[in-house]
Chains A and B, each alone.
Chain A
Amino acid sequence: MKRSFTRKVTNVAALALSVGATGVGLFFLGAILWTLLKNGLAGMSPHLFTQMTPPPGSAGGLLNAIFGSAVMTVIGIAVGAPLGVLAGTYLAEYGGNSKLAAVIRFVNDVLLSAPSIIIGLFVYQIVVVPMGHFSAIAGALALAVIAIPVTVRTTEDMLRLVPQGMKDASTALGAYPWRTTLSVIYPAARSGILTGLLLAIARVSGETAPLLFTALNNQFWSRDLNAPMANLPVVIYQFAQSPYPEWQQLAWSGALLITLTILTLSIFARIVVSALQPSSRT
């Protein structure tokens, strides 16, 4: 009798604690989003998208930083994603259970969770040092290196969802493996690969540490890939730590912009995945 009572009490207490833990997690997500909205919306105005980052003590916008972030993200994804998709294709279609594929999978997983600041130092060593100066192209390369493991992983996972029957049917019609991959597997896994790209963009667009040593920052409008270029994360980093209220306000608005972009991308990617999964099961 007494024993069953202790068991019940332990049970209720443990379950209450687990509900509490979930509450704590959700509370912090709420707290962060609320602060971002409150402080970020205060600075939302058309100027944000039409004016350059200002000198200390005067008003301005984030146009050059938004532009720079977009340019470097696009180049980074354009370089990294095709390589990642190809490597993922190898792992899913050719590598199989070979030793090489196992090693590549393992190394890719390690790179996926490696600290991004290390990638920044790496690109600094191989691009910035030989060139002699910081540049947008170095920043884009750092982002590409970060995007590769993400796309390798999602591509492999998504290609494996394509039913074997479809591949067999294509082979039975006399198609070479490359033809099967290009004309059957890729179209069938299209939305899955697209999800991988969205996740890679989401991952890359918030990266700050690697850009600090590669693209640095630029207070002015620059389209020169061979020169330092402004970008949202580094602008947020520098402006938030400054003593000027105008700069801090811009940092909050930039933070809100980045977070909204990334959360939208992640939610969108999730919708694509859940739309994909029922169809792949049938």
Chain B
Amino acid sequence: MFRGATLTAAVLVLVLLGGVTIALLKGAWPALSHFKLEFLTRQIWNPVTEKFGALAPIYGTLVTSLIAMAVAIPLSFGISIFLTELCPAWLKRPVGVAVELLAAVPSIIFGIWGMFVFAPVLQRHVQPWLIDHLGPLPGVGLLFQGPPFGIGILTASLVLAIMVLPFIASVMRDVFETIPDVLRESAYGLGATTWEVIWKVVLPYSRTGVVGGIMLGLGRALGETMAVTFVIGNAHRVSSSLLAPGTTISASIANEFTEAVGDLYTSSLIALGVLLFLITFVVISVARLMLRRLDRKALSSA
């Protein structure tokens, strides 16, 4: 009896995933069957004429997440190195807890902080500099055109980077801590510097786990909603400039869903949700598989 109850609850987890897939596909069906593949390739998003294409949100989601990862990966690598290799023992716990607290701050807090504090700072001090100094350059300059709005793709990417930072850092730290001390000590014994131990022993040994942690962070960045919604500007446009307002899949849904009138509009937003679900599902699955293999490796070497 009791075993049956626990089994039922466990199977419910599978049912949930199946239910989410079916419910979303059902909701997205009117839009997907109406627009077919054009839904993925068109930039137009016009509720009045009921023409919807997902290109701008897809582009915004990918670009903001990629920039966020480019910023967050080196920073979280540095933090995890600091915590595992450098930090004096008495400081380890407070800094570790602080990083985990940053992970516990709800995303809406990042959102209003981004809108009221971070975006104005960028608008006044950082973006004018970017426009003046990088804007005139050929090639790269295309990324820094237009007036400094404050909000936009770049701001959203940076807020995302701050958000995923603690997630990646804490996975990397956990991964680094599974490395047997013997390995480190033998490298030190050969005369390696701390950095050489990290770069040539710790990192190669833990590569799978590190990549898994990065993918986990990427999954978070792709699906993050509230922090982005506040600072991205919600414009269904693909622009080459990173300073221009844009939108992401999750920001479009959050911004427009409750105001959407008409079945096709609502259904198009759910279709966006299906896309997001697909992308994050793949990314998170890869991350979990890589981290799982690491768990096994850690267990077998223990």
Q: Is A72 an interface residue (CB 8 A)?
A: no
Decide: B288 and A109 in contact? CB cutoff 8 A: yes
Kindly specify which of A43-51, A117-125, A167-175 makes contact with the partner chain.
Answer: A117-125
A108, B15: Cα distance in complex, Å? 11
Check: B26 CB closer than 8 A to any chain A CB: yes
Q: Return chain A residues, CB-CB under 8 Å to B250.
A: 115, 117, 209
Q: Determine whether the beta carbon of A121 is less than 8 Å from that of B27.
A: yes
Nearest-CB distance from B267 to chain A (Å)?
11
What are the residues of chain B within 8 A of A241 when measuring CB–CB?
115, 230
Q: Is the CB of B277 within 8 A of A114?
A: yes
Known pairs A25-B165, A32-B113, A114-B223; A93 contacts B98 (CB<8 A): no
**B280:A114 contact, CB within 8 angstroms:** yes
B6 near A86: Cβ-Cβ < 8 Å: yes
Least distance between A24 CB and chain B CB atoms (Å): 6
In contact, A110 and B17 (Cβ under 8 angstroms): yes
Contact B19 A122 (CB under 8 A): yes
B89 at the interface (CB under 8 A from A): no
Q: Interface residues of A: mostly helix, strand, loop or mixed?
A: helix
Per DSSP, chain B at the interface is: helix
**B284-A113 in contact (CB<8A):** yes
Q: Do A212 and B169 touch across chains, with their CB atoms under 8 A apart? A: no
**Bound: A21/B196 CA distance, A:** 19
Asked if B3 is at the interface of the complex by the 8 Å CB criterion, the answer is yes
Chain A residue nearest to B7 (CB atoms) is A90
B47-99 CB contacts (< 8 Å) to partner A:
74-79, 81-83, 86, 95, 97-99
Is A42 on the interface with B (CB-CB < 8 A)?
no
In angstroms, Cα B95 to Cα A39, docked, is: 25
The segment from A55-63, A177-185, A188-196 that touches chain B is A177-185
Chain A contacts of B225 at CB under 8 A?
115-117, 208-209
Q: Does B183 reach chain A (CB closer than 8 Å)?
A: no
Contacts of A10 in B (CB 8 A): 193, 195
Given contacts A93-B6, A258-B109, contact A7 B276 (CB under 8 A): no
Would you give the 0/1 interface string for A229-249, flagging 1 where the beta carbon is closer than 8 Å to chain B? 000010011001100000010
A44 to B106 CA separation, bound complex (whole angstroms)? 20
Bound: A18/B75 CA distance, A: 8
A32 touches B109 (CB 8 A): yes
Interface string of B209-246 (1 = CB under 8 A from A): 00000001001101111100010000000000000000
- The complex places the Cα of A150 from the Cα of B17 at a distance, in Å, of 15
Collect the chain B residues with CB atoms within 8 Å of residue A8's CB.
193
- Assess the B226–A87 pair: CB atoms within 8 A: no
- Residues of B within 8 Å of A236, CB to CB, are 108, 112
**B140 CB within 8 Å of chain A:** no
B17 x A107 contact (CB < 8 A) = yes
Within 8 Å of chain B (Cβ to Cβ): is A222? no
CB atoms of B13 and A212 under 8 A apart: no
Q: Is B79 touching A208 in the complex (CB atoms < 8 A)?
A: no
CB distance from B179 to the nearest CB of A (A): 17
Asked if B24 and A125 sit within 8 Å, CB to CB, the answer is yes
Give the 5 A-B residue pairs with the shortest CB-CB distance, closest first: A115-B223, A206-B106, A21-B78, A178-B2, A86-B9
Report which A residues bind B (CB closer than 8 A): 7-8, 10-11, 14-15, 17-22, 24-26, 28-29, 31-32, 35-36, 39, 82-84, 86-87, 89-91, 93-95, 100-101, 103-104, 106-111, 113-119, 121-122, 124-126, 129, 145, 148-149, 152, 177-178, 181-182, 202, 205-209, 212-213, 216, 233, 236-237, 240-241, 248, 251-252, 255, 258-259, 262-263, 266-267, 270
* 24 contacts across the A-B interface (CB closer than 8 A): A15-B81, A18-B77, A19-B78, A19-B82, A21-B75, A29-B102, A32-B109, A82-B9, A87-B9, A87-B10, A90-B6, A95-B10, A106-B288, A113-B216, A113-B280, A115-B280, A118-B20, A121-B24, A178-B1, A181-B2, A209-B254, A236-B112, A237-B108, A263-B105
